[in-house]
Amino acid sequence: MTDFSGKFFWYELMTSDPKAALAFYGDVVGWTSAPFGGERTDDPYNVVSGSAGPLGGVMSIPAEAKDCGMTPWWGGYVGSNDVDADAERLTAAGGSVKRPPEDIPGVGRFAVMADPGGAIFMLLKGSSPDGMEAPTGMPMGHVSWHELYAGDFEKDLAFYTGQFGWTKGDAMDMGEMGSYQLVSQTGATVFDGMTGGIMPHPEQMPMPAWLFYFTVGDIDAAVERVKAGGGTVLQGPMEVPGGAWIIQATDPQGAMFALVGSKGAA
């Protein structure tokens, strides 16, 4: 049986306008979407798919979250073999529970957590293992890089490597911004096996957070689609080690996301 614990595998956008968001990302990233379980309500949970299958969902910000000031954002789910035990273990390691473990009928059991620096992520044990393993490589439309703007760099790095079994790769010196530590959720130690990076939380970021990079083809064409759709490019395109090109952006509703692609790709 595949061990999916400790790995990001599902990504969820909570937004003020799901219909508009689906149209924007459908054009920019190339997703297809469908209501979960075929439900035909006025406000369904929409499952989005890339070239390798389903990867996440788009939904309205829940009323109680909106009342607490939540704005549109992307969140990530980490696989768990036992949500209750993991929530307790991660709390003892310096994390915190933001929403206690509970069941989602027909889906599984989940909890909302924060790492020691305050960045939010979710735990999920699905009702079945189907769909809980992220695809390998860089299939179009899927997340191929996970970047943490850490509220407490040293504690957060120790938290994810110690509690989730992630391994460290190289660390890149970014001058005044500190160190960019490459990490792998799969246990790799070489550059091409890395799946993300952890860096100190920049002053311009409103809070510690995870940022997810969706794979596209030509990065310049993707930039034009972002702009045409009403999004805002915050940074890039810029080349990163390995020859890929990235941008960081916000969608029309204000949720931050990132893209990774290449120059001159089809």
Q: Report domain extents, the chain.
A: 8-126, 143-262
Q: Which helix (H) or strand (E) holds 145?
A: strand 143-150
Dist. CA 68–CA 49, nearest whole Å: 30
How many whole angstroms separate alpha carbon 182 and alpha carbon 195? 8
Tokens 């029309």 -> residue: 252
Q: How far is the C-alpha of 16 from the C-alpha of 73, rounded, in Å?
A: 10
The percent of residues above 70 in pLDDT, for the chain, comes to 91
CB 127, CB 104: distance < 8 Å? no
144: closest CA among 196, 192, 187, 197?
A: 196
Fold of 143-262: 2,3-Dihydroxybiphenyl 1,2-Dioxygenase; domain 1 (3.10.180)
Per DSSP, the three-state class of 107 is: coil
pLDDT surpasses 60 at 155? yes
HSE-CB at 245 with a 13 A cutoff on CA atoms is 16
Amino acid at 173: D
- pLDDT tens digit string along 78-113? 999 999 999 999 999 999 999 999 999 888 999 999
Name the architecture of domain 8-126: Roll (3.10)
**Is it true that 8-126 and 143-262 share their CATH fold?**
yes
What's residue 2's pLDDT? 42
Give the chain's mean pLDDT.
91
- State the pLDDT at residue 1: 33
C-alpha 202/C-alpha 191 separation (Å) is 24
Can you tell me the distance from the alpha carbon of 189 to that of 168, in angstroms, rounded to the nearest whole number? 6
> Model confidence at 250, in pLDDT bands (50, 70, 90)?
very high
The reported pLDDT for the residue numbered 255 is 97
Output phi, psi for 240, to 5 deg. Answer: -125, 160
With 80 as the cut, is the pLDDT of residue 42 above it?
no
Query: How much is the pLDDT for 189?
Result: 65
What spatial distance separates the first Cα and last Cα of the chain, rounded to whole Å?
37
pLDDT tens digits for range 163-200: 999 999 999 988 888 899 999 998 776 667 789 999 99
CA distance 82 to 124: 8
Q: Tell me, rounded to whole angstroms, the distance of Cα 154 from its chain centroid.
A: 21
Tell me what the mean pLDDT of segment 156-166 comes to. Answer: 96
Identify the weakest region by mean pLDDT among 18-27, 200-209, 215-224. Answer: 200-209
**Core vs surface per residue 96-113: b (16+ CB within 10 A) or e:** eeeeebeeeeeebbbbbb
Q: What is the pLDDT of residue 264?
A: 76
| pLDDT tens track for 4-27 | 589 999 999 999 999 999 999 999
Confidence class of residue 137 from pLDDT cuts 50, 70 and 90?
Answer: low
Helical H segments across 76-150, by residue range: 83-92
